[in-house]
Amino acid sequence: MTDLSTLPLEDELGDVLEKAMRRKGVTLDEVAQQTGVAAARLMDAIDYRPDLTGDDLRRLAAFLGLNEIGLCALGTGSYPQPEIGTLPFCVWPLRMPHGIGVTNAYLVGECGSSRAVLFDTGAGIDALAVVWPRSIKQLDAVFLTHAEAEHVGGLCEVVARFGAPAAFIPKGATAPCGQPLGEGETRTFAAFTVTAFATPGHAAAHNCYLVRAPEARHGAALLISGDLVFAGSVGGAYFSHEQLQLSLKRMLAMVPPNTVIAPGHGPLTTAGNEIRYNPFAV
Ligand SMILES: [Fe+2]
């Protein structure tokens, strides 16, 4: 598997502070007043010029309800990125530029097979073609985490080109060529199963997918987390802060700690790492 565990994080300290302020519904001035950290220094942190001390970060974590250890680690550029264990199937992370960012899709298949399942289509078929592994010729299915342009580009073309019999989308989402897959529904492939979990928050219709190999004696499960959780952060709560928080806690509590998390942006991580350090997982 390509090593995606040591890539830069999707969100820096400033992004996390901004998301946490939005979640709490407080202004910069209110945070400054309540924590004693000057508004100008908070603004600098949000503008990616942080000079906050450990003491500042501890007060901010307490006021904003964030994991103190994780926030301090982000503040010093030392957020822990765990070792990614062995999986009982092969995973190809597909990283594609989109706008000013990068979006991830993932192929999962039996090692040595030319067939795989695709999670999200990323920026579109041209972007996918650049990163597509030559060995994969056929798709057994496509699963979408949510119907945002940077994750569902060219879905119908992908389905047609790779002969995918089905493209699953979260219940309530609309995407051409997609059919809904709701909470707890499982699809079985040769070497693994994929179970959908409804995880609203970033979007009203958002699924995470848990990939497991029930027959395998070793190896972790894989959680395709879309824009619910990233290493060190969460997706923007464009639908609901409360529901994102509930979805995050539910998913992290549900899976074993060694579960590998494959997010829609940024590096791979594990459930255990995010339970311990993710600023929002409190
Ligand atoms: Fe996204």
Q: What integer is the mean pLDDT of 60-70? A: 98
Do 134 and 54 have their domain in common? no
Do 192 and 220 have their domain in common? yes
Do 263 and 240 have their domain in common? yes
Please indicate, yes or no, if residue 195 is contained in any of the structural domains. Answer: yes
Q: What is the CATH number of the domain that holds 53?
A: 1.10.260.40
Strand order in the sheet with 207-212: 186-188, 193-198, 207-212, 222-226, 260-263, 269-270
Please indicate, yes or no, if residue 108 is contained in any of the structural domains. Answer: yes
Do 155 and 22 have their domain in common? no
- pLDDT, residue 2, reads 47
Do 125 and 223 have their domain in common? yes
Spacing, Cα 173 to ligand 1 middle (Å): 15
Do 178 and 63 have their domain in common? no
Q: Write out the residue range of the structural domain in which residue 42 sits.
A: 13-75
Please indicate, yes or no, if residue 260 is contained in any of the structural domains. Answer: yes
Do 31 and 156 have their domain in common? no
> Is 90:75 a contact under the CB 8 Å cutoff?
no
Do 56 and 190 have their domain in common? no
Spacing, Cα 233 to ligand 1 middle (Å): 13
Do 71 and 195 have their domain in common? no
Please indicate, yes or no, if residue 53 is contained in any of the structural domains. Answer: yes
Range 236-239, long-range pairs (CB < 8 A, 24+ positions): 236/19, 236/202, 237/19, 237/22, 237/23, 237/201, 237/202, 238/202, 238/203, 239/200, 239/201, 239/202, 239/203, 239/204, 239/206
Q: What is the CATH number of the domain that holds 126?
A: 3.60.15.10
Spacing, Cα 33 to ligand 1 middle (Å): 33
- pLDDT, residue 100, reads 86
> Is 150:124 a contact under the CB 8 Å cutoff?
no
Res 82 pLDDT > 50: yes
For the stretch 231-251, pLDDT in tens is 999 999 999 999 999 999 999
Q: Which helix (H) or strand (E) holds 4?
A: none
Please indicate, yes or no, if residue 27 is contained in any of the structural domains. Answer: yes
Spacing, Cα 3 to ligand 1 middle (Å): 20
Spacing, Cα 36 to ligand 1 middle (Å): 34
Tokens of 227: 């824009």
Please indicate, yes or no, if residue 130 is contained in any of the structural domains. Answer: yes
Spacing, Cα 103 to ligand 1 middle (Å): 7
Do 219 and 263 have their domain in common? yes
Q: Does 5 or 51 have the greater pLDDT score?
A: 51
Do 32 and 158 have their domain in common? no
Neighbouring C-alpha atoms within 13 Å toward the C-beta of 173 = 32
> Is 180:208 a contact under the CB 8 Å cutoff?
no
Please indicate, yes or no, if residue 5 is contained in any of the structural domains. Answer: no
For the stretch 256-278, pLDDT in tens is 999 999 999 999 999 999 999 99
Spacing, Cα 230 to ligand 1 middle (Å): 10
Total Cβ atoms within 10 A of residue 224 = 28
Query: How many folded domains does the chain comprise?
Result: 2
- Answer positive or negative: Cα dihedral of 275, 273, 234, 232: positive
Please indicate, yes or no, if residue 8 is contained in any of the structural domains. Answer: no
**Secondary structure of 229-260 in the HEC alphabet?**
EECCEECCCCCCHHHHHHHHHHHHHHCCCCCE
Do 56 and 110 have their domain in common? no
Res 142 pLDDT > 90: yes
